[in-house]
Structure 1
Amino acid sequence: MKPSISRRPPGCSTVRVTRLAALCLLAGLAQSLQAASLQGTVVDESRSPLTGAHVQVRAGSRVLANAATDSLGQFLLEGLPEAPLVLRLSYLGHRSLRETVTPPSLLGELVLASVALEPGELIVSADRARPTDAASYSTIDGEELELRHQGQDLARLLDGTPGLVSFSYGGNPAGYSEIRLRGFDQKRVDVQLNGVPLNDPEDHYVYWVDLPDMGSSLVEAQVQRGTGVAATGGNNFGGAVRLSTGFSPTPGLGLEAGVGSFGTRRQALTWSSGRQQDGWQLETRFSQLRSDGFRERSDLSSWGLAISGRRSLPGGGELRLSHFNGRQLSHVAWDGVPLSLLEAGQRTANSYAAYPNSVDDFRQPQFTLQLTQPLGGWVLDGTLYQIRGDGFYETYKQGEDLEAFGYQPWTRTLEDG
């Protein structure tokens, strides 16, 4: 029998084997990546499951996954890299748990120890979403806010939350900025700070720039997508943002300073008395922020002040007084860069502010008095507040009539003698 003669080019079989091996290697790699998961059960000290506990996985400062436990206290996170990661668990009224884990891993039961809440630490609000509510929301706790905050405005601090994007007119994190929630502008987003509306009563706009460095005082921020559980205001069609400030558990004096790109400088001085034996606690913060801005003539100079005090009342109640103030002096950079200049590479152009003194100078102080008092199975919650606006902006208009600004034309005749 004659041996068969192959007409395949030399090396063809080797090429096919190599390709097959490469495909098998890629398939095995993909399978190993999909198999990298974390699974566990969050319970309290009595081994009862904690429903709705927050589960977060980080790689350094980057958040890889967020989830909540189910009715059995269980969670399953998939698609994680096989590398050391930081797992953080938190639940209201319990101490947070932080562990370093390497997926894939079955963690079993993870116990969160209960911790007693001081009177007034829990702010009761019907507009705050809970795990049992039929609402889509994201809650940013104090630890996450501390990692994010670098002196930027609140709008920029919330950037990256699911469904929310933000931008600043000057191109830097400070100065005039806006948010978009589910595609709606901030006139359709109900924003509250400690239950006090921040939307302007006249135009429903939110002037984040009037609260410089407010992120230093926040202990929680919640973004609700859609109408959700927000029951106040007619401008919550796009969603709601709930911001809460708090008090330091220990007395102390702190000083922060930092520098950044575009000539940004920030200094902050904080002081807390801690909880006194008579039930009083006082806190204050003073901040200064300056920036040259990314765009031409978009520099900013601002300061912010926060003074808060609280007094414990019999029966677990609390009386709280707060004053937030600040002044922002910024050059006008409200208009966008024309397409012709963008195509020419002039991304920092600000031709609409050719007048060197086109500035916006404004203050919006806020005074708040709040009472929270448990009454059996009910809670009495009352808020009295005042918000004032004071300031101006200056610019140059060419070819405009006085009537367009509300002035009536007038003439004056000068006579000899």
Structure 2
Amino acid sequence: MVEIIPVETPSLGDRSYVAHDGEVAAVVDPQRDVDRVLELCEREGVRVTHVVETHIHNDYVTGGLALAQRTGATYHVNADDPVAYERHPVRDGDVIEVSPSMTLTVLATPGHTFTHLSYALSSGGRDVAVFTGGSLLYGSTGRPDLLGPDHTDALAHHQYASARRLAEQVADDAAVLPTHGFGSFCSSSQSDATSSTIGEERRSNPVLTEAEESWVRDLLDGLDVFPAYYAHMGPANLAGPDAPDLRAPAPADKAEIRRRIEAGEWVVDLRTRSAFAAGHVPGTFNLGVDGQFATYVGWLVPWGADLTVLGESPEQVAQAQRELVRIGVDELAGSATGSPQDWTDAPLATLRRATFADLAEVLHHRRVAVLDVRREREFAAGHIEGAVNIPIHEIVERLDEVPQGEVWVHCAGGYRASVVASIVAATGRTVVAVDDGFERTAEVGLV
């Protein structure tokens, strides 16, 4: 009997997969920190014999090569991908026999990239599942614009054809197992679904129910921005990333933390936004590991810049480090653990938190600036009258555009607002972080 176990990376919105028959396993699209896969396989009592990549990833650094080298597994990558390392090249139509009870059929499914592959898993002559990577997602597809505007239109049409090929060639009851689509910016849109089959997608996914030209038009019209760090992922994955070094970074004492803040370096407080607001080292920025930490570090911090992290415990620092190596941030300048009193001798700074009801009440009595840090498409869909929109990923370059006076910062749920509020507050401004759901704005009369 074949069992398929997902390996979740919710902070990046991705899944890897381990498929095994009780003895040997194939691993699909592993993340950089392959120790998770190795521990899972050890618990299952199976040996990794095959590692496959659906595509050269744009949103994370792969662990495929490192896992294959560690286990002696055969590493399957598209023959047309110009990688700088040895792999077992595969092409459309190839059949990989993982074991007598488990085979993978390679299907060319260009669209997310030109060389994208899917793998149909069969057992006992029956289609069990299809690993679709960034091709067919739950109610959506992978976005076609990550290789640049010159290729977007062509890739969108490829994506349409690839989705239909999967629907035609894979059995209706086969599980659809994508890598992206769980919050990843590699998805063209998001779904709340956590599982699906080819048949379910055939009935409900727009790429399988709509005419090509209208679907492509809607897809392209709906594309939003994607993180700046994506530009570094493809080259890293073509070069052949090694296993990450997850040893604890060098400790930073109070004097070193002060020096780095004064030098304008990024010193990031990993704690929750409520803990940060209650008291923090002046000049530090709040990117909590409880949210999309790696995504926003990779988007905001200049690539290669020195980064120091402050956490409540060694475990919190280790979690941040693990998140960061997944996007190729392999070295931290330093770290410290404990509480803010352990990180500075200066008086602690605080950050006022509020709700949208509080904002509505304030606006009845006095003027304050409202800074909306959601993406432009979110802002266009509905916003507070008079709010200034500076998306979170643009705040560093546009700090001089933050309105004068007291600033109330909000997003859709609170995480991004705290990040931006900490950055603005570090300049000496009076800032209030709205920690509330945007849906509350209608209830309190703000929209």
Q: Same fold (TM over 0.5)?
A: no
With a CA cutoff of 8 Å and minimum separation of 6, indicate the structure with the bigger relative contact order.
2
Q: Higher strand proportion, which one?
A: 1
Q: TM-score, normalised by structure 2?
A: 0.24
